[in-house]
Amino acid sequence: MLVGWTATGVAADFLPTSLHPRCPGVVLHGVVFNQVMTGEVWRTLPQWVTLLVTLAVGGLATLAVSFLSPARALLAAVVLLASYLLVNGYLLFDYGNLIVGAAGPVVAVGAVFSGGTLAKLAMERRERARITRRFSSYVDPRVVDYVIKHPREAHFEGQIREMTVAFCDVAGFTTLTEKHGSEAVPMLNELWAVMVPVIRSNGGILDKFLGDGILFFFGAPEQSPHHARDAVATVLEMRKTLRTFNETIAAKRRWPALSLRWGVSTGNMVVGDAGSADTGSGGGAANYTVLGDNVNLGSRLEGANKAVGTSALVTGRTVELSKDAGVLFRPIGKLCVVGKREGMMTYEPMARLDDATAEQKALAADTKAMVEAFLAGRLADCVEAIARMESAHGRSKLTDLYRERCEWFLRDPSPEPFDCQIVLTEK
């Protein structure tokens, strides 16, 4: 039994405690006496114990942040903190009468989770940017960006849509290779290094390199109502870039001036992944590309330039969708390319109207007169138009071709309806 002063009306034997700011001293004496008699005495463990516990908890939090996703790492951190607080509060303090620091481990887990997660996100962002740059050297950056924005569409199912495809080829590359040997490879590398940015700046998707040629298309993966107009603009800009290339890089390296040919086709085609999607076994190999008859037509038109003496041929549908593009086109005729049974109207993009010279406009008008006379079956008028055109602009493969066709029909008129198409027998 302890006897002491407990009256609160006077200032005597009172001490502040965690329980009350004016706790009677006899109460404190009772607590001390109870601890002595029962042996239930709190013991504060050394600081190094708290430090070891803090390091251990922080290490576990570091492992969670390193190997788990942010959401799972957060869950692991909460479980870790709750477990430690339960062990510290109930097992160590209540049953062991041991006092171990709680603030250090709690702060360690919070600091490791927040700092580690931010560092991991920063590292993942840098790695993602590095992989994107690397991946973009094999796949067009617009396709890469589309996949990043639409991760659920990482595999492109085939879709049928109207698009524009373009084939570009170096004219006379076989002869160039025979003459310059291995030096032809750096020529191509330098050429495509300046041409590919032109394609991409106009919204084109670079599909693949085809030896001395390239295939690119417009209107996918994101649809665009201006795919034909963009394709024509790309051809005209590539033509300007080629002149600069020949005047600077080729001249500096003492390379011969290079020439390019283009074939542009607009129509329905299939776009999507072609190949195997079995990436899990390591055997998958797919390519985001375009397929279809209109794609093949673009390739045939590129080759048809040799027969008609042009550098670029586009389909009538391409011109129809490019009416508001401000481009000077000249009709080439109704050509039946290899692999097709029926001819289609073709045109040559000459220049933007703002940049077109008087000579180019005159050539377009004279060509139009020749082609329209032939399409109407007015062969005599066509021959006269050919003569006027050659007198003004000189003889060309196109005028030779039309003269040969007119003379053939005039020599042997057929009772069948006049076939106004020009059939090409070579690719």
Tens digits of residue pLDDT in 74-83: 888 888 888 8
pLDDT value at residue 147: 65
Q: State how far the Cα of 269 lies from the Cα of 298, in Å rounded to an integer.
A: 12
Give me the mean pLDDT over the 249-268 stretch: 93
- The values of phi and psi at residue 93, to 5°, are -80, -55
Q: State how far the Cα of 363 lies from the Cα of 190, in Å rounded to an integer.
A: 33
Compare 169 and 6 and report the one with higher pLDDT.
169
Q: Between vectors from CA 283 to CA 68 and to CA 217, what angle results, nearest 5°?
A: 95
- The values of phi and psi at residue 150, to 5°, are -125, 70
List the single range of 13-27, 43-57, 174-188, 285-299 with lowest mean pLDDT: 13-27
Q: CATH 3.30.70.1230 in the chain, residues?
A: 158-275+284-325
Average pLDDT, the chain: 83
- pLDDT tens digits, one per residue of 374-393: 999 899 999 999 999 999 99
pLDDT value at residue 339: 73
Asked if residue 403 has pLDDT above 70, the reply is yes
Asked if residue 1 has pLDDT above 70, the reply is no
- pLDDT tens digits, one per residue of 155-168: 566 789 999 999 99
Asked if residue 40 has pLDDT above 70, the reply is no
Q: Which two tokens stand for residue 380?
A: 């005599």
- pLDDT tens digits, one per residue of 191-220: 999 999 999 999 999 988 888 899 999 998
Give me the mean pLDDT over the 98-115 stretch: 80
pLDDT value at residue 236: 97
Q: Which two tokens stand for residue 120?
A: 């991991």
Domain spanning 158-275+284-325: CATH 3.30.70.1230: yes
Compare 358 and 426 and report the one with higher pLDDT.
358
Q: Which helix (H) or strand (E) holds 175?
A: helix 173-180
- pLDDT tens digits, one per residue of 346-373: 999 999 999 999 999 999 999 999 999 9
Contact 212, 170 (CB under 8 A): yes
Compare 218 and 101 and report the one with higher pLDDT.
218
Asked if residue 230 has pLDDT above 90, the reply is yes
Asked if residue 154 has pLDDT above 70, the reply is no
Asked if residue 414 has pLDDT above 70, the reply is no
Q: How far is CA 174 from CA 96, 195, 246, 261, 338, in A?
A: 90, 20, 19, 14, 21
Split at pLDDT 50, 70, 90, the class of 313 is very high
Split at pLDDT 50, 70, 90, the class of 222 is confident
Split at pLDDT 50, 70, 90, the class of 248 is very high
